[in-house]
Amino acid sequence: MKASKFHFTNYSNALFFALCIALLVIINSGLSLVLQHQNEQVGLKLAKQLQQPLANEKQLIANTPFTLAPNKNSIYIEKQKHYFIANSKGILLYSWPVWYSYSYLFLIINAVLLLAMLCIRRFKKPKTIKNSTITSKRQQHFNNKKVRYAPKVSSLQLAPIATTNVQEAIKYNVFALIQCECHFDANTDLQATLKVLLAKDFINTTEISVKLLTAGNFAFTLTGIDAIYKLNCAKYLYQCIVSAAHVLAPRTAQRHVKVGLCTYYSEADQVMVYQLAKSALTLSQQNRVKHYHQLALNYGHVQKLDRHSIPQRIKKQKLAILFQPVYELDSGAIIKHYVSIKSNDRGNKQLLNQESISQFYNEGEALLHDQAVVMQVKKLLLIDNSSSVISIKLHPKNWFNNEFWSWLTAYINDLKNQHTLQFSINESEFLNNQLRLQGAFAAIAALNCNIVIDDVRSSKNIFKFTLNKQISGLNLAFELVHGIERSNSQQKYVRGIVHISRLLSLSVFALDVETPQELQLLKVIGISGAQGGYFSKLLPNYTQVAFH
């Protein structure tokens, strides 16, 4: 609403100034024509008088704007020639231009016009503000009247439920990730400044929080926003951020600001909200035209598992370990396995992905989960005599848990040397928590295990991975793999990642392949291996099924 009013105000201002300029041009042109016509009449009369016998030329010309000869005193303005015919005879006279000879008259008239326009402009603004205030008060009074005369609920038991549903439907929350490629002043408190600027635009929000993640990257949380603004929230927030960026960095362009936004209701999973906002930001980064994207976390997406049932099933060893193979694209051979878990309960037979695992908020539950996975993996590897590479996705909390790494060092120390364990971690967590991860890095190096960087989205941070010798590979983000055959920007990002990874001897894997088209294009680009929904079926001859 504010944006539309702003554009309408700009349009009205431009129209007003255009009308003022047109009015000035018309009045000055008309005055010039009138004065020229007057001079012509005076010149014609003067020509008749000069042709009479015994006429005093100097006395006649003294009271007119004409002269018999041009005046060469001025080098910038030349006198105009006028040829008049009277009594069948012609006479040549000279005069200054109308705008020069009557300059005092033009100055007075234009000054009066400009003063009148400024007065009109000045008295127009308070009137507009007053009218808008009266309109808003009338609207508020009308809304109050509607609420006041609403019909009463007959059943006392249904009233609280209806009120709760209305409140939940009206209010919602917003989490947004913003990337600004701007040069801000180092002395400016960006968090406080952006919070103040946003508070002016989002006046109906319950709470606004701004957090500076890295240089030019911010996280915004807005709570208690009306649902009527839900559809255009990303566009409105993008306009507010661009306006704020112009204030803090005047040279900022619209393409320098990218917004990824997730709308959610209360009690939603924070990890899922963050992942949706991050996915929306990735869509904005890959789009050159639309710089903002919005995703919604509805109640249908929040299928929470029972917090007490999962730990109980883990304690009772009712979780089965599944090894999902990763195929080498050149030969079709299985080069390693990714570990996933599945419940053995008859009522909860579902594959637990990372969104489900991330619902273990308690460190104790996360520790119990990863210990159960490692114990099952070791039990199977002790039976297997062939060499194998197993990749395990640890819970984010366990990467900073010294208790887990002490237990892991003692538990898998007797594992056979032909087996290699890999532990995957998200790229953002790896880059932002180097100091806190030193204990985990030391334990992995002592166990001669490897690290795989998960959810890689670009090639700009790959050189930083060479500082850790235990890193052996990279996993592409789902947003780069899904639909890559239709997106040139995704292909560009993946080619950059593969090119730099080859220079650094790092393998690149795609774990979310869903279609043969995606697989074929990834093979052409040159990734090392792939795994995903496309490989969920039985493949008696992988090479024939995949490429022929």
CATH number at residue 184: 3.30.70.270
The pTM assigned to this predicted structure is 0.46
Q: Is 421 a member of any domain?
A: yes
DSSP state of 374: H
Segment 82-100 shows an average pLDDT of: 73
Segment 169-182 shows an average pLDDT of: 78
Which residue(s) pair with 530 in the sheet? 327, 510
Report the alpha-carbon distance of residue 123 to residue 130 in Å, rounded. Answer: 11
Q: Is 129 a member of any domain?
A: no
Q: Which residues of 23-40 are buried (b: 16+ CB within 10 A; e: fewer)?
A: eeeeeeeebeeebeeebe
Please name the helix (run of DSSP H) or strand (run of DSSP E) that holds residue 111, with its range, or none.
Answer: helix 103-148
Report the alpha-carbon distance of residue 432 to residue 436 in Å, rounded. Answer: 9
- Measured between its terminal Cα atoms, the distance across the chain in Å is 56
285 and 313 inside one domain: no
85 and 234 inside one domain: no
Nearest to 478 by CA among 241, 282, 205, 323: 282
504 and 527 inside one domain: yes
Q: Is 304 a member of any domain?
A: no
Q: Which of 297, 318, 335 is the last residue of a domain?
A: 297
> Which of 50-64, 220-234, 351-365, 431-445 shows the lowest per-residue confidence on average (mean pLDDT)?
351-365
Q: Which of 271, 297, 323 is the last residue of a domain?
A: 297
Residue 134: CB partners within 8 Å, gap ≥ 6? none
CA 283 to centroid of chain Cα atoms: 9
Is residue 428 within 8 Å of 219, Cβ to Cβ?
A: no
CA 546 to centroid of chain Cα atoms: 38
Which residue(s) pair with 500 in the sheet? none
Per-residue confidence (pLDDT) for residue 20, from 0 to 100: 86
CB neighbour class for 261 (10 Å; exposed up to 12, middle 13-18, buried from 19):
buried
Total domains in the chain come to: 3
376 and 280 inside one domain: no
What is the DSSP annotation of 195-253? HHHHHHH-TT-SEEEEEEEETTEEEEEEEEEEGGGSTTHHHHHHHHHHHHHHHH-TT--
The pair of structure tokens assigned to 467 is: 């500082």
Per-residue confidence (pLDDT) for residue 164, from 0 to 100: 37
Q: Is 160 a member of any domain?
A: no
pLDDT by residue (tens digit) across 258-280? 999 888 876 677 777 887 888 88
Segment 10-38 shows an average pLDDT of: 83
Report the alpha-carbon distance of residue 385 to residue 487 in Å, rounded. Answer: 44
* Amino acid occupying residue 157: Q
Residue 208: CB partners within 8 Å, gap ≥ 6? 195, 198, 199, 202, 220, 221, 222
Q: Which residues of 448-487 are buried (b: 16+ CB within 10 A; e: fewer)?
A: ebbbbbbbbbebeebeebeeeebbbbbbbbbbbbbebeeb
328 and 449 inside one domain: yes
Residue 88: CB partners within 8 Å, gap ≥ 6? none
The pair of structure tokens assigned to 452 is: 């795989």
pLDDT by residue (tens digit) across 421-443? 999 998 888 988 889 999 999 99
CATH number of domain containing 411: 3.20.20.450
397 and 522 inside one domain: yes
Task: Please provide the average confidence, as pLDDT, over all residues in the chain.
Answer: 74
284 and 339 inside one domain: no
3-state secondary structure of 91: strand
Q: Is 482 a member of any domain?
A: yes
Report the alpha-carbon distance of residue 258 to residue 278 in Å, rounded. Answer: 11
3-state secondary structure of 532: coil
Report the alpha-carbon distance of residue 314 to residue 312 in Å, rounded. Answer: 5
pLDDT by residue (tens digit) across 279-294? 888 888 877 778 888 8
Q: What share of the chain is helix, strand, coil (3-state, %, to 5)?
A: 50, 20, 30
345 and 482 inside one domain: yes
Per-residue confidence (pLDDT) for residue 144, from 0 to 100: 44
Local confidence band at 473 (pLDDT 50, 70, 90 cut-offs): very high
Q: Which of 103, 131, 152 is the last residue of a domain?
A: 103
428 and 474 inside one domain: yes
Nearest to 478 by CA among 532, 516, 529, 424: 532
pLDDT exceeds 70 at position 200: yes
Q: Is 268 a member of any domain?
A: yes
244 and 313 inside one domain: no
Per-residue confidence (pLDDT) for residue 359, from 0 to 100: 52
CB neighbour class for 122 (10 Å; exposed up to 12, middle 13-18, buried from 19):
exposed
pLDDT by residue (tens digit) across 477-527? 887 888 888 888 889 999 999 999 999 999 999 987 878 888 889 989 999
φ and ψ at 251, to 5 degrees?
-85, 10
Q: Is 320 a member of any domain?
A: yes
Domain that includes residue 255, residue range: 167-297
Report the alpha-carbon distance of residue 152 to residue 235 in Å, rounded. Answer: 38
339 and 436 inside one domain: yes
3-state secondary structure of 486: helix
The pair of structure tokens assigned to 252 is: 């900022």
Nearest to 296 by CA among 312, 317, 277: 277
Q: Is 113 a member of any domain?
A: no
Enumerate helices (H) and strands (E) in the chain, giving the number of each: 18, 17
206 and 73 inside one domain: no
The four Cα atoms 335, 340, 343, 347 give a dihedral, to 10 degrees, of: -100
